[in-house]
Amino acid sequence: MGSNGKEPIIRVRGLHVGFGAKTVLDGLDLDVPPGEVTGFVGGSGQGKSVLTRAILGLVPKQAGTIEVFGEDLDRMSLSEHRALERRWGVMFQGGALFSALTVKQNIQTPMREYLKLSQSVMDELAMLKIKLVGLPPDAADKVPSQLSGGMVKRAALARALALDPELLFLDEPTSGLDPIGAADFDELIATLRATLGLSVFMVTHDLDSLYSICDTIAALADGKVIAAGPLSTMLASDHPWLRAYFHGRRARAIVKQGRAAALASAQGIEGAR
């Protein structure tokens, strides 16, 4: 059960994933509640990306079940799986934009594949997504190599949102962004979550993101989820890695500022409107 009492949108049970003799995920259980932003933390090389890739079906698993939208991925036909893939959007860490296509064409790729829309509406919707993620309109006709790192992230988010998915996977969305850009991005995700009713599964290292937009946090260590719940659960945990992570020097500074900053930014947003 998720923290808001609804059926989890992703339910993972007893997941084993390994490469050769090395076991990465060892009987992992995870629930992702719907309509929330779930942050997923863990040390480098602990298998955060492997879990995401296993849920997405990019990495084969040795044992365990994965249910998304209440359906077991193993018991799905190919066509059901393709239908499912329309309901989620994925933003890869490096953006994974198609380098030969412009930003607009990148966003239209899933539309073209799955929908029968006229070109003019696809153009309009692509421009809408571009506006929605905060890119300037002239970015539409640029190819990814002409974009800055932050713009690539936004373009990748626009592509992930092309089909208005219900579930959004974000792999390190704020890595490589400056703090202002990262805060903007967090706010963008929060807005999208509120407007589109998205469930967001976010792999992140960014303590600011965890504090400001994540409703639930799950922590990964030794191939298992060692703690899951709201931030207070994380702060109260005794696990040494979690203590180091949430009570480290960088974390303490953010906690201290956390309340004041949240208040100020809330007022700032109200003032701007």
Partner 1 sequence: MSNSISAAPNFSVERDGETVRIALRGAWTISASRALEKTAVAMSAAGKGARRVAIDFAGVIRLDTAGAWLIDKARAQMAASGAATEYQSLDADQRILLREAAYAPAERELRPKRNRLFEFLIRLGVWGAMIGGNVATGVSFLGELAAAALRVAFNPALSRPTSMVFHMENFALRAVPIIVTINFLVGCIVEQQGIFQLRRFGAATYAVDLIGVLTLRELGVLLTSIMIAGRSGSAITAELGSMKMREEIDALRVMGMAPMEVLVLPRILALVFSLPLLTFIADIAALGGGMTTAYLYDGLGFQAFLVRLQDAIGLNTILVGLIKSPFMALVVGMIACIEGFRVQGSAESLGRQVTVSVVNGIFMVIFVDGLFAIFFAGIHY
Positions touching partner 1 (CB under 8 A) are 69, 80, 83, 86, 99-100, 111, 114-118, 121, 123-125, 127-129, 131-132, 137, 143-146, 161, 163-164, 191, 194-197
Closer to partner 1 at the Cβ: 16 or 112?
A: 112
d(CA 87, CA 79): 13
Closer to partner 1 at the Cβ: 158 or 217?
A: 158
Closer to partner 1 at the Cβ: 68 or 225?
A: 68
Closer to partner 1 at the Cβ: 163 or 219?
A: 163
Q: Mind giving me the DSSP string for the chain? A: --TTSSPPSEEEEEEEEEETTEEEEEEEEEEE-TTSEEEEEE-TTSSHHHHHHHHHTSS--SEEEEEETTEEGGG--HHHHHHHHTTEEEE-TT----TTS-HHHHHHHHHHHH----HHHHHHHHHHHHHHTT--GGGGG--GGGS-HHHHHHHHHHHHTTT--SEEEEESTTTTS-HHHHHHHHHHHHHHHHHH--EEEEE---HHHHHHT-SEEEEEETTEEEEEESHHHHHH---HHHHHHHSSHHHHHHHHHHHHHHHHHHHHHHHH-
Name the minimum Å distance from CB 188 to partner 1. Answer: 10
Name the minimum Å distance from CB 225 to partner 1. Answer: 27
Name the minimum Å distance from CB 60 to partner 1. Answer: 25
Name the minimum Å distance from CB 129 to partner 1. Answer: 7
Closer to partner 1 at the Cβ: 9 or 28?
A: 9
Closer to partner 1 at the Cβ: 62 or 99?
A: 99
Name the minimum Å distance from CB 226 to partner 1. Answer: 33
Name the minimum Å distance from CB 178 to partner 1. Answer: 19
